[in-house]
């Protein structure tokens, strides 16, 4: 079975540019999560969806961040405009039911210059 | 709020030896899940093992086992017969029973030496 697929694997862009990170969850999973990992703050949950509906976005740092899930097999995390402090590894994860473990993608390493 | 503490930033072990990574957590919940995730240099986050708080029996997955002490709020990971491929960051994580907000510890960097 294919795991959670994230793209791109690496992204380097200049401050002020729009950044879009993409995620394809495991087929059949009805929960999708976006995390951010930094040295200072570790792994933080940004937002999660259930059946394509955002359930909790309290971890989204500010209005520059937005996430969508237009269908069960695709989600995006967008940063506009990007800032150097957004540099981090962004993970997408999915799970089947709230009781099941979350399976992570390989992450996107984002560098904002 | 739930917090997860991993008090060992770094550890090392000789190949084929056994090592134990510590994790403590703070919660007022009675039912919850605990996890250990492994993050090798390749950056993947790989689920190693999980434990449901209502189960008294400690979870085991091949060379990986946990010592779950509910009263002490302790959840340590034991790796037996360590292999070079076990070199990674290990994260302990907590999640409430019917909630998706998973809290991670700061991680322990484990190095297996040949």
Q: What is the pLDDT of residues A36-74, one digit of tens each?
A: 999 888 899 999 999 999 999 999 988 999 999 999 999
What chain A residue is nearest to B105 in terms of C-alpha separation? A42
Q: Between chains, do A56 and B101 touch, taking CB under 8 Å as contact?
A: yes
> What is the pLDDT, as a whole number, of residue B2?
67
Chain A neighbors of B101, CB-CB under 8 A: 45, 56
Chain B neighbors of A36, CB-CB under 8 A: none
DSSP E strands in B8-106: the ranges are 10-14, 19-21, 24-26, 32-39, 46-52, 60-61, 64-69, 74-79, 88-96, 102-104
| Interface membership of A42 toward B (CB under 8 Å) | yes
Nearest to A31 among B97, B100, B107 (CB): B100
Q: What is the DSSP letter of B101?
A: -
> What is the pLDDT, as a whole number, of residue B100?
78
Residue B47, SS3 per DSSP = strand
Q: Between chains, do B104 and A89 touch, taking CB under 8 Å as contact?
A: no
| Interface membership of B5 toward A (CB under 8 Å) | no
Confidence of residue A2 (pLDDT cuts 50, 70, 90): confident
Residue A98 has pLDDT above 90, yes or no: no
Taking the alpha carbons of A7, A86, A12, A64 in that order, is the dihedral positive or negative?
A: positive
Averaged pLDDT in 10-residue chunks for chain B of 114 residues: 88 97 94 95 91 92 96 97 97 88 93 96
CA distance B48 to B59: 11
Residue A99 has pLDDT above 80, yes or no: no
What chain B residue is nearest to A6 in terms of C-alpha separation? B44
Q: Are strands B64-69 and B74-79 parallel, antiparallel or unpaired?
A: antiparallel
- Closest alpha carbon to A23 in A80, A90, A82, A88: A90
Q: Between chains, do A42 and B104 touch, taking CB under 8 Å as contact?
A: yes
Q: Between chains, do B102 and A106 touch, taking CB under 8 Å as contact?
A: no
Q: Between chains, do B43 and A98 touch, taking CB under 8 Å as contact?
A: no
CA distance A35 to A45: 4
Q: How far away is chain A from the Cα of B14, in angstroms, using its nearest Cα? A: 27
> What is the pLDDT, as a whole number, of residue A1?
62
Q: Which residues pair with residue B75 across a beta bridge?
A: B68
Q: What is the DSSP letter of A105?
A: -
| Interface membership of B44 toward A (CB under 8 Å) | yes
């Amino acid at each position: 079975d294919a795991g959670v697929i994230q793209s791109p694997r690496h992204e380097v862009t200049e401050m002020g540019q729009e950044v879009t990170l993409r995620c394809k969850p495991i087929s059949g999973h009805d929960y999708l999560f976006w995390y951010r990992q930094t040295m200072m703050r570790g792994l933080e949950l940004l937002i999660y969806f259930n059946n394509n509906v955002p359930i909790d976005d309290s971890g989204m740092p500010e209005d520059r961040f937005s996430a969508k899930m237009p269908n069960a097999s695709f989600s995006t995390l967008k940063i506009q405009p990007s800032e150097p402090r957004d540099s981090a590894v962004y993970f997408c994860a999915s799970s089947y039911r709230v009781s099941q473990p979350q399976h992570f993608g390989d992450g996107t390493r984002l560098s904002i210059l | 709020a739930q917090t997860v503490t991993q008090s060992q930033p770094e550890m090392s072990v000789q190949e084929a030896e056994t090592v134990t990574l510590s994790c403590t957590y703070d919660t007022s919940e009675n039912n919850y899940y605990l996890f250990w995730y492994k993050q090798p240099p390749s950056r993947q986050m790989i689920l190693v093992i999980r434990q449901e708080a209502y189960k008294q029996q400690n979870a085991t997955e091949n060379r990986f086992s946990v010592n779950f002490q509910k009263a002490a709020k302790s959840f340590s990971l034991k790796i037996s017969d360590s292999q070079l491929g076990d070199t990674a960051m290990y994260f302990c994580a907590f999640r409430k029973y019917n909630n998706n907000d998973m809290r991670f510890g700061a991680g322990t960097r484990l190095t297996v030496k040949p």
